[in-house]
Amino acid sequence: MHKGKRLLHHHEISVMQVVWEQGESTDAQVQKMLASTEGLDRSKITKIISDLVQRGVLTQREEENTYVYAPLVSRREVEEALLQDLHDYLFEGSNIRMIRSLVEHRIVSKGDLITIAREL
């Protein structure tokens, strides 16, 4: 994601995950995937998709009287932007504070850290 763009919120990421998995999707396909897990109705999903198109995160094309959406940003770009934002603002640029917090909140175990250190 480009610097200066607002980061994606939870439901936007859920929509993007469907589109990333499918490569491209209609709003009906996104609705079908998210109705049970996220509890989002069709109008909410349509609004989220419209916002993502407007912000340059998704592209749309018309095909047989329906819009088909494709990602303009990769999952990796979104991961990088979110992690960088957390690092810079929440943890004030401190790698140690960020990693310590991941361990303290049991998101990452000490064993995971050891494995990661070996792999690096």
**Helical pair 75-85 and 10-22, crossing angle rounded to 10 deg:** 150
Query: How many residues belong to the chain?
Result: 120
Looking at residue 6, what is its pLDDT? 57
Give mean pLDDT, residues 97-109.
Answer: 95
Radius of gyration, CA atoms only, the chain: 17
Which of these ranges, 32-36, 46-50, 86-90, 91-95, has the smallest mean pLDDT? 32-36
Say how far apart CA 41 and CA 117 lie, in whole Å: 44
Number of alpha carbons in the 13 Å side-chain half-sphere of residue 106: 0
Residue-by-residue DSSP string for 60-104: EEEETTEEEEEESS-HHHHHHHHHHHIIIIISTT-HHHHHHHHHH
Looking at residue 61, what is its pLDDT? 95
Q: What domains appear along the chain, each with residue ranges and CATH number?
A: 10-71 (1.10.10.10), 75-119 (no CATH)
78 pLDDT band, cuts 50/70/90, is very high
pLDDT higher than 60, residue 4: no
Residue range 40-76, pLDDT digits in tens: 788 889 999 999 999 999 999 999 999 999 999 999 9
pTM for the model stands at 0.79
Mean confidence (pLDDT) of the chain: 90
